[in-house]
Structure formats: structure tokens, C-alpha cells
Structure 1
């Protein structure tokens, strides 16, 4: 490698080192194991190449000193070598290359769901305020509306989790309306959720009893009292609330919606 190319490469190494620490600290939390391995491999390759290219100072050839115009005594102490002068254009180009390489890894929705649920395999979830627009059993007697924004996330969860939906209802007619609304929304078409896994009860405590019997890895609910009661028995819980509250326990997470918890809004 020519001396000029070697100097350019070493100069690039120095600039990469200057930006590397900041980029790693900002983006580390977005990287999965494959990305970490790729960065480690890159760092090893750069270090190995740098060591090969580095020439011991004792073996460096002295370049003949070229005569130049005499420097005035007033500014002779301020003259710097070209190697010490930063080139803004090169700095900008190097920054662009590094920024492009260290772009945050964009995960698929499937990967996000698996990551956020910590590979949980069984999930229980109430309907009111989470899957449905309605927020009370009384409203279900009049109409049932499935939230369109939650469908993609819910269907993704059903692909690798055993999902049970449950709700308190006041009559059999409400049950039929709920099942019909879920069916029309396409929730049963993916094969991950069947009608037999939509459970109904007459009281809030009945829903709590369902959850304890099923022993899920995750329970999703919009009632803070139910969440509090189950916090001692369920591994993880997600409390859905229009106003994001502080976490009441280390195993209880909060979000304004199910899709917001998975970063879909």
C-alpha cells in the first residue's frame, strides 16, 4: 500500500474511533445479537488491519527535506503540518459513512412482539378498553366496536402465543354481539384464536379467577384493581390506561394502548 493511501486509511481510523463511542452508547439498546456480532467483527477487522499497516517509528524512512520559502519570524511558530489540519469535507464524509453504518436496526412487528413479551407463550387479555372501543358492560348491550388500530398487533400475538380474550357481560345477547364483532373483524381467520378462547363472566372477580386458573405469562387489563390483585400471581402484566400511570410493581408495565406498547403508534 502506498504511503499516501496508508496515511489516508490511518486518518480514517482515527475519525472512526472518535465517533464510535458515541454511536455505540446511543444505539446499543436497539441492537440485537446479530448486529452486536457484526460490529464486533468490524472492530476486530479494523484493529487487525491497522496493526498490519502500522510501521515502527524506527523503521520509517526519513524523507529528504525540501527547500521552501523562508518563514517570517512573526508567524514561524504558528505553521502546522498538513497532517494536523482537519479537513471539514473529509470529516463530513466520514460522519455520513459512520451514520449510515450505525443506523438503528429496524425490527419487524413479529420481532418486536416477541421481544416485548419476553418470549411469553400464553397471554390473557380483557376486551373492554383494550380490544374494544367500549369501556363498560352496559355499552356492550347497545353496540360492540373492535378497535381497528389494535388488530395487527393482536393477530401477531396470536401467531406464537396461546391467547385468551375475556370480558364481563350482563346478558347472553351481549356475548353474541361480541363474538360477531370479533368474527367480522377477522380475528378468528388467522387460526391463532378460536371462539372457544373468548371467555365471558358476570363479574370483575370472575375475570380475575379466569386469569389465575389459566396462569398466563402475561395478562393485559384496563382495570387497575384487577392488575393490582393479580400482580402477586402473574409473571407480567400490562395495564392499559388513557393516562399513563407510574408502575405499581416491577412486573407491571403501563401503556395508553396495546399498539402503543409495541411501538405501532
Structure 2
């Protein structure tokens, strides 16, 4: 029979385990509507882990009881004392090993779940449903309309983020160009990068204009929750009309308004790099 101290230790370990599990479940319930299949699977797996861990936590008590029975038998048989003591040592080692495995199981399953890129994007955009974004300096490597007359190159580092945005946001891309050939070059680059294959973005949502004021006008007409741009003047002009803005700049800039954020790149803002 287990001693009172061993029983109290087991109860405390089990109580601590369920308290941690309860806190985890409470956190998940508070975010119920944002759970995806992976999160639901994690909760189900965690429940299974609780049962498994509970059994492991019980095993040391069983080992102690078996050990005490063997010790009682050995005391009544002095001749077999050496043999019985040899059997007791592996039992203690197994008990310690069980404790270690149980603690490792608890630590592993209670590690913070790393959010997916999609979850980060939704959180960063504050569940915004419409986004407008400039191409030059944000999606494309080029930074001026003159460069687009020669080539258009999609930044591979932002492609994954861009596709995640299209999964739950109405996304519009826009840029100022100097000729029709530049438009064709941009659309071809986006198509070859696979931007149009996800179904969230179509070519009709890539808008072109001939002036910076034209781009600002596009944004105001669309009334997005977020606008992403690399031109500080456009950001400043739209600050009082758009709920949130993201200024992409390789240089550290001062925050011009409470609703304007800044980052060196789209990927770094969403923490994907």
C-alpha cells in the first residue's frame, strides 16, 4: 500500500497537470471561431495525451507497492536477501524512468503551439476583408515605372504571404506604368509566379494607372480595410481615409499616424522571414 506522502505527491502532480490542461482548453475556447483543422486536431491529441500521462503518473505508485511486497517477502526469508535486494534496484530505476517519461510527455504536449502563417496574416490584418497593395517595391523587385519597361520580377520571399492574403481577403494590386507593354510584363510575371492559380486573385483585380494620384484614387474608391504602399506621400494622403496602412520601406521611418505601420518588407511584417 502506497504511503500518505506518495499519494499526496501523485495527487498534486495530477492536479497540476489538469490545471494546465484546463488553462489550455480555456484559451482555445476563447478563440473558438478562429480554430482551424490543425488546432482542433491538436486539442484532440492533447486529450489523448492526458489519459496516457495519467497512466504513467500512476505507475510509480504501483511500482512502490510491488517493491514493498517484495521487501516484505525478503524479510521473512533471510536466505534470499541478496537476491531480493537485487530485484528491488531495477524497480526503483524503472520508477524513476516512468517519472521522467511522464514529465517529458507533459512538457512536450504543453509546448506553445506555433501559429500557422495564415493565422499570423489574419491576426496582423485584424481580420480585415479587403486589401489594396502597390506592386513596385512591395511585390516586385523593381522600384520605378521606368524599370518595368525592361523587366518585372516577383519577390519570391513575399509570394507565400501574398497567397495567404488572397485566401481570406479581397485583394487588389495596383501600379503606375508608362506604357501598355509594362502592363503585359507585370501580368506575365505575376502569372508565372503562380499568383493567379490560387483562385483568390484574378487579372481583373490588377489595376494600372498613369499617375500616383490615380493610384490614390483607386484606393479611396475601393475603401479597403488595409492599404500597403512604398510611397510615403501616398501613405500620408490616405491616412485619414483608410482604416489601416502598411508602409514598406528599407529604411527605418517614424510612425506618421496611429493607423500607419511600417516594415522593411511584406514578409518581415508578417514574421515569415
Q: In structure 1, what is the equivalent of residue 258 of structure 2?
A: 250
Aligned counterparts, 1:1-80, within 5 A = 2=2, 3-9=4-10, 12=13, 33=31
Kindly provide the CA deviation profile for residues 120-151 of structure 1, in whole angstroms up to 9, marking residues without a partner as x: 11100000010000000111111110111111
**CA RMSD across the alignment:** 3.4
Q: In structure 2, what is the equivalent of residue 125 of structure 1?
A: 133
Identify the match of residue 230 of structure 1 among 223, 238, 255: 238
Count of residue pairs brought into register by the alignment: 209
Distance in 2 of aligned mates of 1:31 and 1:258: 31
What is the CA distance between 1:5 and its match in structure 2? 2.6
TM-score by length of structure 1 reads: 0.68
SS across alignment from 2:112 = coil
Q: In structure 2, what is the equivalent of residue 157 of structure 1?
A: 165
CA contact (8 A) 1:124 1:164 kept: yes
Distance in 2 of aligned mates of 1:225 and 1:173: 27
Distance in 1 of aligned mates of 2:30 and 2:138: 29
Q: In structure 2, what is the equivalent of residue 187 of structure 1?
A: 195
Matched, 1:144 2:145: no
With over 3 angstroms needed to count, the CA separation of the structure-2 counterparts of 1:224 and 1:96, relative to structure 1, is farther
Distance in 2 of aligned mates of 1:110 and 1:188: 18
TM-score by length of structure 2 reads: 0.66
Which sections of structure 1, spanning at least 5 residues, go unmatched? 43-88
With over 3 angstroms needed to count, the CA separation of the structure-2 counterparts of 1:11 and 1:242, relative to structure 1, is same
Distance in 2 of aligned mates of 1:97 and 1:193: 44
Identify the match of residue 105 of structure 1 among 113, 119, 122: 113
Distance in 2 of aligned mates of 1:138 and 1:166: 16
SS across alignment from 1:213 = helix
Kindly provide the CA deviation profile for residues 83-105 of structure 1, in whole angstroms up to 9, marking residues without a partner as x: xxxxxx9xx99986665454222
SS across alignment from 1:113 = helix
SS across alignment from 1:118 = coil
What is the CA distance between 1:249 and its match in structure 2? 1.4
Distance in 2 of aligned mates of 1:131 and 1:256: 12
CA contact (8 A) 1:30 1:105 kept: no
Distance in 1 of aligned mates of 2:29 and 2:153: 38
SS across alignment from 2:207 = strand
